[in-house]
């Protein structure tokens, strides 16, 4: 499990190393909400593809090692105690959007404005994806109970329309 303190430590180390990263997934939702609403198995971060090796090197200081390398789509890092980080890798386009190459050959474009979110974990203000992008990233596939939980909270807090099936 990833605790709020784990997330704050990871983000502080990345900031200290000059590596931009944005909270995504469940911790991204909880950051936007300003409170932890459930337990989290991992930490999802959006990072620039060209920075993955730097991220890995920086996080070695916290015990993280490479577990899965599925570039250009994602990289998973693990550390003792079951901590896991899932890096969603992007290449930024001229307009500031982040293009993630998906494993099936498609691509997803995070809009430039989607990187402007700010949230709070363990009393620390942190960069995260915006509520609108978080909602989009939590839909479009078969929803789990966890996805429905996150979508419902985002929709309630930020007055967003919930897609059918959530």
Taking residues 84-110, what's their average pLDDT?
Answer: 97
Residue showing tokens 């960069």: 127
Q: Which two tokens stand for residue 108?
A: 């997803």
pLDDT tens for each residue of 60-80: 999 999 999 999 999 999 999
Please give the domain boundaries of the chain with CATH numbers for all domains.
4-158 (3.30.460.40)
DSSP string, 45-83: EEEEGGGHHHHHHHHGGGT-EEEEEETTTEEEEEEGGGE
CA distance 95 to 85: 27
CA distance 80 to 67: 12
pLDDT tens for each residue of 30-51: 999 999 999 999 999 999 999 9
- Within 13 Å, how many C-alpha atoms sit on residue 68's CB side? 12
With 0-12 / 13-18 / 19 or more C-beta atoms within 10 angstroms meaning exposed / middle / buried, residue 159 is exposed
* Residue 120 confidence (pLDDT): 98
């Amino acid at each position: 499990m990833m605790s709020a303190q784990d997330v704050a430590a990871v983000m502080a180390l990345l900031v200290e190393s000059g590596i931009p990263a944005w909270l995504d997934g469940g911790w991204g939702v909880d950051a936007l909400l300003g409170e932890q609403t459930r337990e989290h198995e991992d930490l999802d971060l959006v990072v620039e593809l060209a920075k993955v090796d730097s991220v890995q090197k920086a996080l070695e200081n916290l015990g993280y090692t490479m577990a899965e390398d599925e570039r250009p789509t994602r990289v998973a890092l693990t550390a003792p105690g079951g901590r896991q980080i899932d890096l969603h890798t992007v290449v930024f386009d001229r307009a500031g959007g982040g293009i993630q190459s998906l494993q099936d050959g498609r691509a997803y474009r995070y809009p430039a404005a989607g990187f402007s979110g700010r949230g709070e974990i363990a009393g620390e203000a942190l960069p995260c994806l915006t509520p609108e992008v978080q909602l989009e990233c939590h839909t479009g596939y078969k929803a789990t109970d966890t996805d429905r939980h996150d979508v419902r909270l985002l929709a309630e807090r930020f007055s967003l329309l919930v897609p059918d099936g959530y």
